């Protein structure tokens, strides 16, 4: 395994770690929820959601501690901020597209049938969580790509 400390600055390592953590934790949460839709109670879903939020917070804190202990942190400069702005714009478009498709799907094209189980609000909430996760992954993926392109 390559030594990341010698080849990649701390900020890029942090974004990579955050990208992988977001994809794994929230991808796992959404897979567990969607594939067992109707088999879980409201309480179980809320419990899973809280677990995902806590796990994500712990993972991000652990990553921050481990990376900061091994590498000297440098303040953000204008290039970091520009890359973050461009990546945020890409993430915003992904989020906007997801929200528009969610509303179109749920309200106009195919009303959710009654047998969905936990009901339309919970389904809509989870589709929106999926949109938010995709937007975050798109943003962090774009950041990594933009850093590599200008490296």
Min separation Cβ 89 and another protein, Å: 18
> Looking at 1, 35, 77, 110, which residue binds another protein (CB under 8 A)?
77
Q: Would you say 116 and 123 are in contact if contact means Cβ atoms under 8 Å apart?
A: yes
Of 145, 126, 136, 127, which is closest to residue 94 (Cα–Cα)? 136
Phi, psi of 76 (to 5 degrees): -65, 135
Whether the CB-CB separation of 148 and 8 falls below 8 Å is answered with no
Under the criterion CB under 8 A, does residue 74 sit at the interface with another protein?
yes
Residue 109 interacting with another protein (CB under 8 A): no
Two structure tokens written together for 113: 């049938």
Q: Among residues 23, 40, 71, 80, which is the contact residue for another protein, using CB under 8 A?
A: 80
> Is position 115 an interface residue for another protein (rule: CB under 8 A)?
no
In 8-119, alpha helices (H): 10-35, 42-70, 78-103
| Nearer to another protein among residue 28 and residue 89 (C-beta) | 89
The reply on whether position 4 binds another protein by CB under 8 A is no
- Which residues contribute to the site for another protein (CB under 8 A)? 9, 11, 74, 77-80, 147, 149-151
């Amino acid at each position: 395994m390559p030594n990341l400390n010698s080849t990649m600055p701390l900020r890029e390592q942090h974004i990579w770690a955050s990208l992988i953590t977001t994809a794994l934790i929230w991808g796992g949460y959404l897979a567990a929820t969607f594939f067992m839709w109707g088999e879980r109670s409201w309480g179980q879903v809320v419990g899973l959601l809280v677990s995902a939020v806590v796990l994500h917070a712990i993972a991000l804190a652990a990553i921050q501690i481990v990376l900061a202990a091994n590498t000297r942190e440098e303040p953000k400069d204008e290039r970091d901020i520009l890359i973050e702005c461009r990546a945020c714009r890409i993430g915003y478009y992904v989020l906007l597209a997801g929200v528009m498709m969610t509303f179109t799907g749920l309200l106009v094209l195919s009303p959710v049938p009654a047998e969905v189980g936990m009901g339309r609000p919970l389904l809509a909430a989870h589709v929106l969580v999926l949109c938010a996760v995709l937007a975050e992954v798109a943003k962090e993926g774009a950041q990594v790509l933009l850093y590599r392109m200008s490296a």
